[in-house]
Structure 1
Amino acid sequence: MAGPYLGEKRETGGRPRVIAHRGASAMQPEHTLAAYTTAFDLGVDGIECDVRLTADHHLVCVHDRRANRTSNGKGVISTLELAHLEGLDWASWKELDDGSANEQADSDPGRGRILTLNRLLDSLTSQRQELLTLIETKHPTRYGGLVERQLVTALREFGLTTGDLPQLPHVRVMSFSLMALVRMRGLAPQVPLVHLVAQSAPRLSWDGSLPTGINIVGLDMRIVRRSSAIVRAHQRRGHEVYVWTVNEPEDVERCVELGVDVMISDRPSDVMALLG
């Protein structure tokens, strides 16, 4: 694909921002503190995480509904208490890029500990940078709106519900659930929202429209590969466009050519190298 030098500045204000998907998840086990501290060290523009509620109503950073894939335990996250989840190993399952198993968890037990949202926010705020912080609430869940209520409580504790401030993370809350976004708008109206759109969405809107009060769309990279029309449609309406998961060089180039605002990647180091 012919295209510009990936490091050149766009007229809209520069290169797309690079966001570490579940932390630097190609380099470290996803959603562990090590994945995020690695991302900070890489100099990323921000991070992304998913949150779920435990049985005793703690927000933890886990993508899947069940613990099976990313820990040595089993069971639905929402039915397990935090103390049980903290007893599991969330790191050694990961095969690193060199083909080895992740053995560092044995020498550092904290490395494989489940990451709570509060612990992640504490680490983020200690960076004293305006890191773009994308938090996705996962639905459907047995707890419904309690997820957003607990999220707002956590954000408020760190002073992150009153808009973007200097030397603090710039939070965006994302969801595929419109109801979840409506709840967030009511609970914390100054926190910007991202409406996520998957390739499998049954009524994918191609005209660039978004629900009232939402000005950011999150698009599956597979949609962007299929057609640039939806990106252009949102840009014409003045919306920001976030794209996930951008790992391949041709996808990076496509996103740069389209002038998207954010690229969410498992491999932020590789993406930043391509951007120069």
Structure 2
Amino acid sequence: MSEGSDESVQNGRAPFVVAHRGASAARPEHTLAAYELALEEGADGVECDVRLTRDGHLVCVHDRTVDRTSSGSGLVSELTLAELKDLDFGDGAPSGVLTLSELIGLVLDWRSRPTKLFIETKHPVRYGSLVESKVLAELQRFGIATPASAAHSRAVVMSFAATAVWRIRRAAPLLPTVLLGESSRYLGGGAATTVGATAVGPSVKTLREHPDLVDKAAAAGRATYCWTVDEPDDMQLCADLGVSWVATNHPGRAKAVLANS
């Protein structure tokens, strides 16, 4: 088993459900409303993408620009937090963009059950490694940067950039990490071992074409995180293969389907 491996052996249980950008099929993505609904629907984890603002704040935005998801326009990296807070991100809330700090607070304050937060750092970006440094500083501020073990961690850091995963593993070796990718050769090869990832993250399309990825990951002591799993047949496929985590825009549907798998 690789050091710090996380939920790599499912022991026959259904995959855990991660709400992709919140319950984003029902509420605007990356909004407080989307995450609150996901938690109410029983999500085991929630996922967010983070970017740095011009004045150094981590905000939950997927795209390089805010054009698609807000009432404004422009690059996230060229806007201040105050400017982003003035925009409408689709839920009608006056608070504008959701910060990583606000999302961590929501997840940790949710008392019904412990929920994991999956944080994806985006690359390439103008701020480079500063993104990972800021993420770790934020996790440290909330007391969740140095878990007793990967299995008990409340946070998971992910990226398509192998260098980003390596930076996290080097600075916080007990934090679980996911190396994301669409190539089975990339995820099934030596990249995950080289950077010390505790899990690999194929798309559901890649998993359909290369179902052996799950067993290969497990043999190396790694979990599998599959995205974005919205169709019941794909949810069942993930359960049959022994996938550890499924990211979905429909957490309530996924919980219902997987409860009967």
Q: C-alpha separation between the residues in 2 aligned to 1:215 and 1:157?
A: 23
Distance 1:205 1:109 in 2: 41
The residue type equivalent to 2:75 in the other structure is V
The within-5 A match list for 1:153-172 is: 153-163=137-147, 170-172=154-156
Residues paired across the two proteins, number: 247
- Answering whether residue 181 of structure 2 is matched by residue 197 of structure 1, we say yes
Give the drift of 1:162: 1.3
- Counterpart of 1:109 in structure 2 is 94
Aligned partner of 1:249 in structure 2 is 232
Partner of 1:227: 210
- Aligned pairs (5 A) from 1:60-209: 60-91=59-90, 105=92, 108-110=93-95, 113-128=96-111, 129-163=113-147, 170-199=154-183, 204-207=186-189
* Residue aligned with 2:192, SS: coil
Larger radius of gyration: 1
Q: Hey, what's the Cα distance between the residues in 2 that align with 1:58 and 1:169?
A: 23
Q: Say if 1:210 and 1:83 are closer, same or farther in 2 by CA, change over 3 A.
A: same
Q: Confirm or deny: 8 A CA contact 1:55 1:79 kept in the other structure.
A: yes
Aligned pair 1:32/2:16, yes or no?
no
Residue deviations 1:130-157, cap 9 Å, x none?
A: 2121000001000001101111111001
Bigger shift: residues 114-123 or 155-164: 155-164
What's the counterpart of residue 53 of structure 2? 54
**Matched residue of 1:182: which SS?**
helix
Please state how far the C-alpha of 1:191 moved relative to its aligned partner. 1.0
Instruction: Check the 8 A contact 1:18/1:271 in 2, yes or no.
Output: yes
* Letter of the 2:208 counterpart: R
CA distances 1:69-105 after superposition (whole Å, capped 9, x unpaired)? 000111111111111111111015xxxxxxxxxxxx1
Q: What fraction of aligned residue pairs are identical, expressed as a percent?
A: 43
Contact 2:51–2:60 (CA<8 Å) still a contact in 1? yes
1:245–1:266 CA contact under 8 A, matched in 2: yes
Which whole-Å CA distance do the structure 2 matches of 1:270 and 1:49 have between them? 19
Amino acid corresponding to residue 144 of structure 1 in structure 2: G
Match of 2:220 in 1: 237
Unaligned runs of 5+ in 1: 1-9, 93-104
RCO (CA 8 Å, sep 6+): is it higher in 1 or 2?
Answer: 2
For residue 190 of structure 1, report the CA deviation from its aligned partner: 1.9
1:211 counterpart SS class:
helix
What SS class does the counterpart of residue 204 from structure 1 fall into? helix
State the alpha-carbon separation in 1 of the partners of residues 99 and 146 from structure 2: 22
Contiguous gaps of at least 5 residues in structure 2: 1-8
Q: Secondary structure at the match of 1:109?
A: coil
- TM-score for the superposition, normalised by structure 1: 0.84
> How much does 1:20 deviate?
0.3
Measured in 2, the distance between the counterparts of 1:256 and 1:189 equals 29
Q: CA deviation at 1:170?
A: 1.4
Conserved? CA contact 1:244–1:265, under 8 Å: yes
The RMSD of aligned alpha carbons is 2.0
